[in-house]
């Protein structure tokens, strides 16, 4: 039987997490004038939050996403990816390169939601979704699993607030990117609410408790995806051999 007092305490604690993040972002905006630095600091606030609430099987970082054909996405503010089965590649300081096969989700972290930022987040999502992903069979003690079809990569946007008077109302909904590659599956505006289409239809909630609602819904969606595909390392190795062959012919 549910304890009313326990449920109230838990709800209050979750709301406090949202208020704490909102305060961190507000302090950043008030104390840092350089827009690039301000954006980078706020990205780190969101990355820290995702790392705190997602299980350790999920890595979270700002990164570029690459594929075995040499394709590369735009820089993504927040990538949720697998590190257990798929290492990152060519990392240099803060520049991390994640194979497309390892990616579960991508997010843009913005100061607010408006038409321009929604379109921008959609373009970033498309730059990842259009990359090629390999998949090979997995061998185990009892035999093997066939190559699995790559799942659709989740894309979303997170921000401090919405710029529309009705927050995540009709104006917001009418400006969500319509293209399949640009689609935003979920998002959260701390002072506006949260949304997702994980149940097959778009659902929107108000600002009160929106952050934890958003995180728990995302956790459920990630859980439903299972494990990423097994990467075809031979295909990546062929990039090197193709380059060597070309130099030999030249």
Dump pLDDT digits (tens) for 55-90. Answer: 999 999 999 999 999 999 999 999 999 987 777 777
State the pLDDT at residue 32. 62
- Of 48, 65, 51, 45, the C-alpha closest to 153 is 65
Q: How many CB atoms lie within 10 A of CB 200?
A: 6
Q: For the chain, what is the domain count?
A: 1
State the pLDDT at residue 17. 79
> 119: which residues sit within 8 A by CB, 6+ positions away?
175, 177, 182
Determine, yes or no, domain membership for 18.
Answer: yes
Determine, yes or no, domain membership for 198.
Answer: yes
Determine, yes or no, domain membership for 3.
Answer: no
> 209: which residues sit within 8 A by CB, 6+ positions away?
11, 14, 15, 18
User: What range defines the domain where residue 37 resides?
Assistant: 9-239
Determine, yes or no, domain membership for 155.
Answer: yes
State the pLDDT at residue 250. 56
3-state helix, strand, coil in the chain (%, to 5): 40, 25, 35
Q: Say if CB 102 and CB 79 are below 8 A apart.
A: no
- Of 138, 140, 147, 168, the C-alpha closest to 156 is 168
Task: Report, as residue numbers or ranges, the catalytic residues.
Answer: 77, 108, 110
Determine, yes or no, domain membership for 133.
Answer: yes
Determine, yes or no, domain membership for 32.
Answer: yes
- Of 240, 192, 244, the C-alpha closest to 213 is 192
Determine, yes or no, domain membership for 248.
Answer: no
State the pLDDT at residue 67. 94
Which ranges of the chain have pLDDT less than 70?
Answer: 1-7, 10, 29-35, 37-39, 93-94, 140-143, 242-250
State the pLDDT at residue 23. 78
State the pLDDT at residue 30. 66
Please, how many CA atoms are within 13 Å of residue 191, restricted to the half-sphere of its CB? 13
Distance CA 113, CA 193 (A): 11
pTM recorded for the entire structure = 0.88
Sign of torsion over alpha carbons 82, 118, 64, 100: positive
State the pLDDT at residue 34. 65
């Amino acid at each position: 039987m549910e304890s009313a007092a326990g449920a109230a305490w838990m709800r209050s604690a979750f709301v406090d997490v949202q208020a704490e993040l909102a305060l961190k972002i507000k302090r950043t905006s008030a104390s840092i004038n350089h827009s690039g630095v301000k954006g980078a600091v706020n990205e780190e606030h969101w990355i820290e939050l995702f790392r705190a609430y997602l299980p350790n099987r999920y890595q979270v970082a700002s990164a570029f996403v690459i594929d075995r054909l040499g394709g590369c996405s735009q820089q993504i503010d927040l990538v949720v990816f697998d590190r257990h089965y798929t290492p990152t590649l060519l990392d240099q300081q803060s520049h991390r390169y994640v194979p497309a096969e390892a990616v579960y989700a991508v997010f843009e972290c913005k100061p607010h939601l408006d038409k321009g930022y929604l379109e921008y987040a959609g373009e970033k999502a498309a730059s990842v979704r259009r990359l090629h992903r390999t998949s090979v069979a997995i061998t185990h003690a009892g035999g093997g699993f066939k190559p699995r079809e790559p799942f659709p990569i989740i894309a979303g946007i997170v921000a401090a607030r919405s710029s529309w008077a009705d927050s995540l109302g009709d104006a917001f909904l009418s400006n969500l990117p319509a293209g399949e590659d640009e689609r935003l599956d979920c998002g959260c505006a701390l002072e506006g609410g949260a949304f997702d289409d994980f149940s097959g239809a778009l659902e929107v909630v108000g600002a009160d408790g929106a952050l934890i609602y958003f995180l728990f819904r995302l956790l459920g969606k990630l859980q439903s995806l299972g494990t990423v595909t097994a990467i075809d390392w031979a295909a990546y190795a062929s990039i090197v051999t193709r380059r060597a062959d070309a130099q030999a012919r030249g």
